[in-house]
Amino acid sequence: MKVYFLGTGTSQGIPVIGSKHSVCLSADPKDKRLRVSVWIHDVDFSIVIDCGPDFRQQMLTSNCQHLDAVLFTHEHADHTAGLDDIRPFYFTQGAIPIYAHERVLKNLVKRFDYIFETENKYPGAPSVVPIEVKENQPFSLKNKQIEPITALHGDLQVFGYKFTDFVYLTDVKQMDSFEIEKIKGVKLLVINALRYEPHTTHFNMEEAINFIHLVQPKKAYLTHISHLMGFHEEVQQNLPKNVFLAYDNLEIEI
């Protein structure tokens, strides 16, 4: 199975529009971060987690040709705003299954009403098959078993997803020990780290590193990164030896 980092940036992406911050002006491609998302693919398996405003560009850059499903972590725009751009997949494959918490599905129906329209639907609009993800209820998607992991993003419930040896979590600020038990000792953990300064709804670097100590993965990659974290190259030098800053277009084989 391969994990391709489509985007590793926080909600505004890096560079931030109009910003004169040195990280936003950096020429290092590792300092360019689209909105957070991963493509998980294998023989006969291809899904993305989240579908933010950079989805179209991410599908072109990664050369993703087929999409079995979109899994959503939560409803915030940096994770959902690109839903309309599943159209090319819909035109060739038919309605695309989307997996999310019931609350997130309701939110998508409100914001993308034309996608969920059943009468007089515009022929160019995409269609989806909504599938509810419930806490503590693993599900299978094609040949993979997937376990939803619950966390809190401020007051908002968010889902992460566990695929046997791999766990993807983003927008986490808090997690119950019951949920942490589910992911202990995993081979590869992806977890959000926004910046060094604390933030009310996202882990900062210290919280992410503490979380990694609790989970004890073989390797951990940090994502959902702000320009305020600093230059990729410099931040990486100060990380523990099994912790890495993810960057856009990084692909890892599990």
What token pair was written down for 44?
A: 């006969």
Under the binding rule (CB under 5 A), the answer on residue 75 touching Zn ion is no
Judged by CB, which is closer to Zn ion: 90, or 224? 224
Q: Considering the complex, what minimum distance in angstroms separates the CB of residue 170 from Zn ion?
A: 6
Q: Considering the complex, what minimum distance in angstroms separates the CB of residue 108 from Zn ion?
A: 16
Judged by CB, which is closer to Zn ion: 68, or 192? 192
Q: Considering the complex, what minimum distance in angstroms separates the CB of residue 77 from Zn ion?
A: 9
Candidate ranges 75-83, 111-119, 133-141, 172-180; the one touching Zn ion (CB under 5 A): 75-83
Site for Zn ion in 34-63 (CB under 5 A): none
CB 67 within 8 A of CB 93: yes
Under the binding rule (CB under 5 A), the answer on residue 68 touching Zn ion is no
Q: Considering the complex, what minimum distance in angstroms separates the CB of residue 171 from Zn ion?
A: 5
Judged by CB, which is closer to Zn ion: 26, or 192? 192
Q: Which amino acid is at 167?
A: V
Judged by CB, which is closer to Zn ion: 35, or 232? 35
Beta bridge partners of 52: none
Under the binding rule (CB under 5 A), the answer on residue 171 touching Zn ion is yes
Q: Considering the complex, what minimum distance in angstroms separates the CB of residue 98 from Zn ion?
A: 17
Judged by CB, which is closer to Zn ion: 68, or 171? 171
Site for Zn ion in 77-96 (CB under 5 A): 78
Find, among 227, 228, 225, the residue nearest to 243 by Cα.
225
Q: Which residues contact Zn ion (rule: CB under 5 A)?
A: 78, 171
